Amino acid sequence: MITADALDTLLKEEKAMNKETLRNLQVAIWFCATGYYKDLAYGGVTSLNFAEKYLKQEGYSEEEILLIQQYIKAANSKVVPKTKEEMLVQDAVYAFLADKNFNEQQTLWRAENDAIKESELTNKEWFTYLKGIIDSKLFYTSYAIKNWAYKVQGNYLKLISKETKQQQKQVEKGRDTVFRITLRNHISLSDNADRKAHILLSVNAIIISIIFSRIFPKLDNPSNTFLIVPTLVFVIFTVISIILSVIATRPRITKGKFSYEDITHKKTNILFFGNFHRVRLEEYERAMDMLLSNNEYIYNSLTKDLYYLGKVVAKKYKILQYTYAVFMAGIVVSTILYIVFFNIYN
């Protein structure tokens, strides 16, 4: 037990302390934390009650019990110790702040708190709680001031460093989540645009097939003269719609090369195949090593990838908008022309 060991260490420096006082201090140390397993908020009071009940059973005098309870009260960091004995107790209780295994100790302490409260503190809440204790803690005995105070500061710096690293990890995790979800959404939108274009392409191809197989052979009949103009107009609109659908889904290949300067100045995104498909493997491996060793470059590349993917998706949807407009206009205009020319010739 760290607290009991710490008290033994401190007591070795006290030469003129009688046996009764030593015993009372040791008893106080063993009881000072017993009440916290029931109630974190009022654990100190519970510890006093436990100690009183036990000590009465063991035949301690009322004076000794009050003295031990006074030592137990001194274990609270909010209490300013007045006697040498109270200083020894408080320094022993908080000696774990200077322990070399402080990280493991605070982890176990946190687990204990969570188990008693039946709720978990967030990392931020726990670090704030710990820093509050360390910031307000002062050692009182000469041995603790000389041998433990600087170690507490060292553990405090480690705690700050750990908190900073965890915050950085959370930021990076949030950043990764943003890129992953946004890229996935844009890819889904791009796929959706391709599907819409393919549907229009298929529908127009079927319409063209029907026109050439069923209507064109009938146009040489004088009785079907009224079909010529509307059919030609419908074919023109259908062909334009097909062309626009093809343009919307047509892949665009870039030059596929990059220079060493492009990599060092972070000007190119080597995560996109269009920027490296004509580069030798050795050059690409070197560029990828540079990318993976630089988080800023990675996120810069992902940002560019997302930006240009968005530009491509926007272009596809714009062309699709024109395609649907042409398709609908072709149907409406052709239908009107069929009605008009039918009435003219009949």
Rounded CA separation 153/158 (Å): 9
Q: Does 205 score more than 60 pLDDT?
A: yes
- The pLDDT of residue 1 is 44
Element (H, E) at 98: none
CA dihedral 163, 164, 170, 174 (to 10 degrees): 160
Q: What is the pLDDT of residues 247-271, one digit of tens each?
A: 988 877 777 787 878 788 777 888 8
Of the candidates 134, 166, 168, the residue with the CA atom closest to the CA atom of residue 153 = 134
Q: Is 280 in a helix, a strand, or coil?
A: coil
> Average pLDDT, stretch 196-203?
92
- The pLDDT of residue 68 is 86
Q: What is the pLDDT of residues 333-342, one digit of tens each?
A: 999 999 998 8
Q: What are phi and psi of 31, to 5 degrees?
A: -95, -15
